Structure 1
């Protein structure tokens, strides 16, 4: 049976708890919204595969995570997209560290139907109306949070609850592989 999966970075539990409170506070002002009940995360990718294939993909994730080294992520501002997403964004140094993790993980999976994220962020709300976006941007103006990025998380989609749930966590191994450099014979 085909199932939907996502690979994400979870911030620390303290950051997850704080963002959950922010979502609850926003819901009091604007009502229910997309991603209200979603656990705080930075999306790397989503994909659909046959359930029988998941162990093969777990092995690919283990292998790539072994090459990653933990690093701090600093969340320092809010932003939004034209599609109604309101989110917390990492600073530029953190983005520069997150983007290669995201890209290498996506590339390691070698899936043609991969839905990729290339702009690291933590959503507060998605598909907000322009009015709700304005309310959110007035409610949340400053942020200063940090967490250690030291693993990635594999989640499976529950079609009944319409939420992803964690099925595995892959720690970073701090064993960087040498980059292959194409040399010249002459």
Structure 2
């Protein structure tokens, strides 16, 4: 049977708690909204797989995680995607520049389809918000200054009953970069 999975990065436990409080504050102002109960994360991408396919994904995740080096991530502002009606916390430009190649490497290793991947690292506060609720969020949350060490890939599985993802496995970064293949001439 095929199940849904997502690959994410988690902020620190302290960061997860801070974001949980922000989500609760927004909930207290506007009521239930998309992703108000989800644990803070930066989405890399998602896929569907059966048990045999999942074992192959896990092997690929082990291999790619071993090549990655931890990076310090600075979350420094709030923003919104007006067209998709999402309000989120965004990393600094330097942190985005550090995260994007890591995300791309994971997406390519897992062959995640472009429609199922994220190209703009962020931590969602709320999704599918009405425009007036995005404005409430903008008024509520004006400044943020958080840091965390991005040092592991998190594989999550979707629970269709709870309608939430749970952590299936964590793959720590190994700081063992693979040498680039250089095509040379024999003569």
TM-score range, shorter chain: over 0.9
Corresponding residue for 2:173? 172
Residues 131/176 of structure 1: CA separation in 2 closer, same or farther (3 Å cut): same
Q: TM-score, normalised by structure 2?
A: 0.95
Measure how far apart 1:181 and its partner are: 3.6
Partners of 1:55 and 1:5 lie apart in 2 by: 12
Structure 2: state its 5+ residue gaps: none
Alignment map for 1:55-70 (pairs within 5 Å): 55-70=55-70
Partners of 1:180 and 1:52 lie apart in 2 by: 30
Alignment map for 1:1-186 (pairs within 5 Å): 1-82=1-82, 83-112=84-113, 115-183=116-184
Alpha carbons 2:46, 2:112 under 8 Å: kept = no
Residues 180/29 of structure 1: CA separation in 2 closer, same or farther (3 Å cut): same
Q: CA RMSD in A?
A: 1.5
Partners of 1:134 and 1:18 lie apart in 2 by: 21
Q: Deviation digits for residues 125-181 of structure 1, max 9, x if unmatched?
A: 001000000000000000000000100100000001100000000000000112224
Q: TM-score, normalised by structure 1?
A: 0.96
SS at match of 1:124: strand
Measure how far apart 1:114 and its partner are: 6.4
Structure 1: state its 5+ residue gaps: none
Alpha carbons 1:47, 1:113 under 8 Å: kept = no
Q: Deviation digits for residues 60-86 of structure 1, max 9, x if unmatched?
A: 000000000111000000000021100
Alpha carbons 2:44, 2:107 under 8 Å: kept = yes
Residues 184/114 of structure 1: CA separation in 2 closer, same or farther (3 Å cut): farther
Measure how far apart 1:112 and its partner are: 4.9
